[in-house]
Structure 1
Amino acid sequence: METKKKRNAAILELMEEADKFGYRPVFYEVKGDMLAYLHEMGFDFIKLGEEGYVDVTDFSLSGKKKKGERALMNKFEREGYQFEILTPPFDGETFKTLRKLSDEWLSGRTEKGFSLGFFDSYYLNQADIAVARNADGEIIAFASIMPAYTDELTSIDLMRYGKDAPSGIMDFLFIKLFEDAKEKGYQTFNMGMAPLANVGESQYAFLGERLAGLVYRYSQGFYSFKGLRNYKAKYVTTWVQKFVAYRKRSSIAFTMLQLMLLVGKKRPLKKGQILLEVPLSDANPDEPKTKDE
């Protein structure tokens, strides 16, 4: 309760400061009880997507449903592929390899930023990195592990693989990460957002949400939103809805355009910047529960 009071006071202070300069705050990836408070403060919402969580305490490759994943992992093990977690600081040769894989994955396309992970040497040096190696010991794929500052939940941020990586290498990395998290005593693995998932599907949805839903269903190219949702659904046990909160009477189209431009910008991090994930709400009833709750 005390955390909620402090959060609400911080939101109020932010809005008062924004009013002094004529700004209109927008809250990104809002969930849980924060929605009710922002509604009282005069905000409307549009669903942004869904965040997927895996209960690693029960994760297993046994059973009929995981037959394909078992066969895939057996194939990788027979061919000598290895999983390893590297700890910082990383040497120049390692960064050179990771940069090469990242560039191959991007294939000349623009790097994203803001809430999406992007390749930045300083940022990547703040936490462990999981890598997949081929039979020759060469790194062919990697995933940066995001600091969560909790003993219950873990997550990745940036996941990249090179042009020579075999099909299924992402599954290899994810499954190994789930198993590693389980061994270390974590309860939940956050697989991140599935943008625009299940947005605007009702015939009574707002026009803006229905247009966003069309983008989700028919998007191709760099980010295939529907493909991403379907891929994560193989492992996710719980989906949590996320929203954008914007001031009433604001243009939702203009707000979403501004967000797209912001997410499309990549800003290099500098030494001394604080990298913290601050919880903005108390336990959300929609989120997966821990064993102690």
Structure 2
Amino acid sequence: MSAIIIIAIIFFYFFRPKEILPTNHTIDYEQVAEFLKSHNEHTNAHLIFLKDKSVFWAQDGNALISYKKIMNKLVVLGDPIGKNEYIKDALLEFEQFAHRYGCKPVFYQISCKYLSLYEFEKYQFVKLGEEAVVDLVGYSLVGKKGAKLRSSRNKFQRQGYSFTVTAPPFSNDFLAELESVSNSWLGDRKEKGFSVGFYSNKYVSHFPVATIRDEDERVIAFATLASTNSEEKHGIIIDLMRYYPTCPNGTMDVLFTSIFYWGHEQGYQSCSLGMSPLANVGNTKDVKTIEKISKLVFNSNKFSYRFKGLMEFKAKFTHTWNGKYLAYKKTFLPIVIIQLILLIRTNKIEKELPYASNKLGRRIVG
């Protein structure tokens, strides 16, 4: 009889029916925005406003985790957001939440800051790439080092091109200009999601937008500017970047350097250029097989433009790089990678009506 009871307990523990993960809960984005004003030092937290992810509040609302379900995985974008003292318990709380619904947590694009906490909880790591960060304190193009970028910026100014940062709310005409640029840039390609910004009027309207206009005042390139905000430092993130394929050479260089000058003038301390996938992956002694394969892909001629070219473009502006990692446990890594690819590539964008009011956006910098 005792053996039957033990078997029954084991069977119930491993094969008990799991609860169904709730997918229709309403997210209070105003609450999220208010929380991020004082608790956000992560450079991907703004992607919550893509509204393609779910939100998990941990530690009685003192920590925030954004995630998306694919198969039996709950994939978290970045580290938990909140003060340091809540992060460890937030990780445990989310793991229990995932297990409750028969899922496994996976943390995508985590920083170096909390690696020891994940390691303590028996997570394994794979390096995904590195994030380029520009130091805006005392930023300048003066001198030999900045000569080429300075020359491009001066040339554009002489030819009548102008740089502007416009704050929301935006007029429908302004959004129509941005959408036209975005559609032209996108061409026949499909938008991605989850860890990559995609164009929608509602999403873009959350952020200031930096633009380059030609001599006819037509927007030819733009970038949305998200921000980090913590007790320690304030930074900006160049998020969604789009331009007309017919733009003059150097347009994006001018847009970026103008953003750096603007950020410095506004008192920001750093500017994130986003992650370069596979950058400096597989360069250490003790690397996993998957990282060795990633290094071969990065250096191959077939993918050189996509991966190495992106890193080289960002390297023009900075030499500061921060590692980004994947944390996982008790799961087969190749399956996780396939699921991540599907998660990023699969993006459903609903057709939307014009979002903005008829008020003109406020130009912060002319």
User: Same fold per TM (> 0.5)?
Assistant: yes
Go from structure 1 to structure 2 and tell me whether the alpha carbon gap of 1:64 and 1:224 turns closer, same or farther (over 3 Å shift). Answer: same
Query: Match of 1:231, as an amino acid?
Result: F
Q: Does 1:175 align with 2:269?
A: no
State the percentage of identical aligned residues: 37
- For residue 129 of structure 2, give the secondary structure of its aligned residue in structure 1: strand
Counterpart contact for 2:297–2:303, Cα < 8 Å: no
Counterpart contact for 2:128–2:281, Cα < 8 Å: yes
Which residue among 323, 335, 338 is the counterpart of 1:254?
335
Q: Does 1:72 align with 2:72?
A: no
| RMSD (Å), alpha carbons | 2.2
In 2, the alpha carbon distance for the partners of 1:222 and 1:213 equals 11
Question: What TM-score, normalized by structure 2, do the two folds share?
Answer: 0.69
| 1:166 corresponding residue in structure 2 | 248
Question: What TM-score, normalized by structure 1, do the two folds share?
Answer: 0.86
| 2:326 corresponding residue in structure 1 | 244
Gaps of 5+ in 1: 272-293
In 2, the alpha carbon distance for the partners of 1:129 and 1:264 equals 25
Counterpart contact for 1:122–1:270, Cα < 8 Å: no
Which residue among 145, 155, 169 is the counterpart of 1:89?
169
- For residue 173 of structure 1, give the secondary structure of its aligned residue in structure 2: helix
In 1, the alpha carbon distance for the partners of 2:241 and 2:341 equals 21
- For residue 143 of structure 1, give the secondary structure of its aligned residue in structure 2: strand
- For residue 132 of structure 1, give the secondary structure of its aligned residue in structure 2: strand
How many residues align structurally?
A: 269
In 2, the alpha carbon distance for the partners of 1:100 and 1:128 equals 18
| 1:12 corresponding residue in structure 2 | 92
Within-5 A mapping of 1:26-41 = 26-41=106-121
In 2, the alpha carbon distance for the partners of 1:155 and 1:94 equals 21
In 1, the alpha carbon distance for the partners of 2:167 and 2:304 equals 30
Which residue among 196, 199, 202 is the counterpart of 1:122?
202
In 1, the alpha carbon distance for the partners of 2:197 and 2:331 equals 29
In 2, the alpha carbon distance for the partners of 1:106 and 1:8 equals 40
Greater shift, 35-44 or 16-25, is seen at 16-25
Shift of 1:233: 0.7
Q: Does 1:60 align with 2:125?
A: no
Greater RCO (Cα-Cα under 8 Å, separation 6 or more): 1
Counterpart contact for 2:135–2:271, Cα < 8 Å: yes
Query: Match of 1:214, as an amino acid?
Result: L
Query: Match of 1:186, as an amino acid?
Result: Y
| 1:43 corresponding residue in structure 2 | 123
Shift of 1:110: 1.3
In 1, the alpha carbon distance for the partners of 2:252 and 2:188 equals 21
Shift of 1:143: 0.3
Shift of 1:15: 0.8
| 1:154 corresponding residue in structure 2 | 236
Query: Match of 2:332, as an amino acid?
Result: S
In 2, the alpha carbon distance for the partners of 1:137 and 1:220 equals 39
Q: Give per-residue Cα distances to partners, 1:3-36, cap 9 Å, x unaligned.
A: 3331111110111121222211100111234111
Shift of 1:270: 11
Go from structure 1 to structure 2 and tell me whether the alpha carbon gap of 1:254 and 1:40 turns closer, same or farther (over 3 Å shift). Answer: same
In 2, the alpha carbon distance for the partners of 1:178 and 1:82 equals 15
Shift of 1:120: 1.2
In 2, the alpha carbon distance for the partners of 1:148 and 1:268 equals 26
- For residue 148 of structure 1, give the secondary structure of its aligned residue in structure 2: strand
Query: Match of 1:253, as an amino acid?
Result: P
Go from structure 1 to structure 2 and tell me whether the alpha carbon gap of 1:33 and 1:155 turns closer, same or farther (over 3 Å shift). Answer: closer
Query: Match of 1:266, as an amino acid?
Result: N
Gaps of 5+ in 2: 1-81, 353-366
Shift of 1:203: 6.5
Which residue among 192, 199, 222 is the counterpart of 1:142?
222
